[in-house]
């Protein structure tokens, strides 16, 4: 982390963050990474992921664990009790000059608190109000499941990704990362930026609604056109592609690798590299469709070569000649020079630790306004006084709010 970081592309944009868990915080993290000022409004006992861990064994403070540290970097924290009228009034004052507010409560919660889009826009017509919910908000389409709670695994199942993931056609499987949270989070960030861009031109904000289930279906777009065009019902295909070959995972002496040499340009090169040049000119395997029809033969030929070599040996042999990647575990990621030079494993200070620890870096790279991890995740209420002062509270009022347990 630079001591004097350059401003990000979103420098000057203020986001009031009323989110918890993963989907909402990841969304606002993406904005904060690009320089937006993200004010995380937490309950007095904090975002519930503060206590999830994992904790470093030498952490003396245990103010938050790795989960919270990872997706709440670059943010400021203010702790407010939204159950109290005075607390809700403070949030309204924060939103008065904000570009956007983001929340991921169940539908109706913000209405009951008097913090709905309709209320907040009265004081700030250019406000962008964004939500991430399991099945969306009634304002944009009243799903029969609008009021149902949802988490990552529910979205993965409902949106279709689990039905096409798994070792065989009879075994659906959850995807490892929480894509049921991360995909809607990313889409919501795009929606927020789109709406802010329009608001800066017109002076009018709008309501941005992303359903977790919708986002997963959008990610699984191919199942829609496959069914619509062919009438088929896509099923899990294991670690190979339903339409392309060779395109998938192959065994190595010390793990697994991936190869995607289905294209006409790469297919003969692969055949030469595995010592089977005759396959590259075999008329039975001449087209993409031919290779898919003879998938078993091709997979066995490629596997016969790869299983005799280590991942690193195969990386040197195939790398740069055909699309290739080792199946990395996190130890491989930490050791690989790609992730080091791309700043994708970032060292950050952590309260309670003498030495910095690591979190994932910023994947969106820009030359003039680089996104970056500018500072660690905040302590609970670390910036309460700063933001209360910014909305006009004097020292006496802040002391009273804290004594009355309205803020922390």
Distance from C-alpha of 188 to C-alpha of 191, rounded to nearest angstrom: 5
What pTM, to 2 d.p., does this model score? Answer: 0.94
Domain boundaries, the chain: 14-219+340-403, 247-330
CATH classification of 247-330, choosing from 3.30.360.10, 1.10.1740.10, 3.30.1540.10, 3.40.50.2300? Answer: 3.30.1540.10
Phi and psi at 22, nearest 5°, equal: -120, -50
3-state helix, strand, coil in the chain (%, to 5): 40, 15, 45
Digitized pLDDT (tens) for each residue of the chain, 408 residues in all: 444 667 899 999 999 999 999 999 999 999 999 999 999 999 999 999 999 999 999 999 999 999 999 999 999 999 999 999 999 999 999 999 999 999 999 999 999 999 999 999 999 999 999 999 999 999 999 999 999 999 999 999 999 999 999 999 999 999 999 999 999 999 999 999 999 999 999 999 999 999 999 999 999 999 999 999 999 999 998 999 988 999 999 999 999 999 999 999 999 999 999 999 999 999 999 999 999 999 999 999 999 999 999 999 999 999 999 999 999 999 999 999 999 999 999 999 999 999 999 999 999 999 999 999 999 999 999 999 999 999 999 999 999 999 999 999
Return the CATH architecture of domain 14-219+340-403: 3-Layer(aba) Sandwich (3.40)
CA nearest neighbour of 258 among 248, 266, 273? 248
Distance from C-alpha of 281 to C-alpha of 38, rounded to nearest angstrom: 58
Interior CA angle at 52 toward 137 and 19, to 5°?
25
Phi and psi at 40, nearest 5°, equal: -85, 115
CA nearest neighbour of 241 among 200, 184, 298? 298
Sign for the pseudo-dihedral over CA of 190, 187, 338, 271: negative
Q: Which of 47, 137, 181, 214 is catalytic?
A: 181
At 69-113, the pLDDT tens digits run: 999 999 999 999 999 999 999 999 999 999 999 999 999 999 999
Active site includes 264? no
């Amino acid at each position: 982390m630079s001591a004097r970081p350059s401003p990000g592309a979103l420098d000057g944009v203020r986001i009031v963050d009323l989110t918890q868990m993963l989907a909402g915080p990841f969304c606002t993290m993406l904005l904060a990474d690009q320089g937006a000022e993200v004010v995380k409004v937490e309950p007095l006992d904090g975002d519930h992921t503060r206590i999830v861990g994992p904790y470093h064994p030498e952490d003396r403070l245990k103010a938050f664990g790795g989960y919270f540290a990872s997706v709440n970097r670059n943010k400021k924290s203010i702790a407010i009790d939204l159950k109290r009228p005075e607390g809700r009034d403070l949030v309204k004052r924060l939103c008065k000059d904000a570009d956007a507010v983001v929340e991921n409560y169940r539908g109706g919660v913000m209405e009951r608190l008097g913090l709905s889009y309709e209320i907040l826009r009265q004081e700030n017509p250019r406000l962008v109000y964004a939500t991430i919910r399991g099945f969306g908000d009634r304002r944009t389409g009243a799903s029969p499941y609008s009021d149902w709670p949802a988490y990552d695994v529910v979205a993965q199942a409902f949106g279709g990704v689990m039905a096409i993931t798994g070792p065989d056609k009879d075994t659906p499987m959850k995807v490892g990362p929480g894509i049921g949270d991360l995909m809607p989070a990313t889409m919501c960030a795009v929606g927020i930026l789109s709406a802010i861009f329009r608001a800066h031109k017109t002076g009018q904000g709008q309501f941005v609604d992303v359903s977790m289930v919708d986002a997963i279906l959008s990610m699984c777009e191919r199942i829609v056109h496959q069914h619509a065009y062919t009438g088929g019902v896509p099923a899990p295909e294991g670690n190979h592609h339903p339409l392309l070959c060779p395109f998938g995972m192959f065994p190595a002496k010390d793990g697994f690798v991936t190869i995607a040499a289905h294209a006409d340009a790469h297919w003969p090169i692969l055949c030469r590299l595995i010592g089977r040049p005759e396959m590259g000119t075999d008329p039975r395997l001449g087209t993409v469709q031919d290779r898919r029809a003879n998938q078993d033969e091709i997979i066995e030929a490629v596997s016969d070569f790869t299983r005799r070599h280590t991942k690193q040996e195969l990386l040197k042999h195939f790398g740069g000649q055909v699309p290739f990647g080792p199946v990395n575990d996190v130890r491989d990621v930490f050791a690989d020079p790609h992730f080091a030079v791309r700043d994708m494993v970032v060292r950050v200070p952590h309260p309670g630790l003498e030495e910095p620890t690591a979190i994932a870096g910023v994947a969106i790279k820009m030359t003039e306004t680089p996104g970056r991890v500018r500072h660690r995740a905040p302590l609970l209420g670390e910036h309460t006084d700063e933001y209360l002062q910014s909305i006009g509270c004097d020292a006496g009022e802040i002391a009273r709010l804290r004594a009355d347990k309205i803020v922390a």
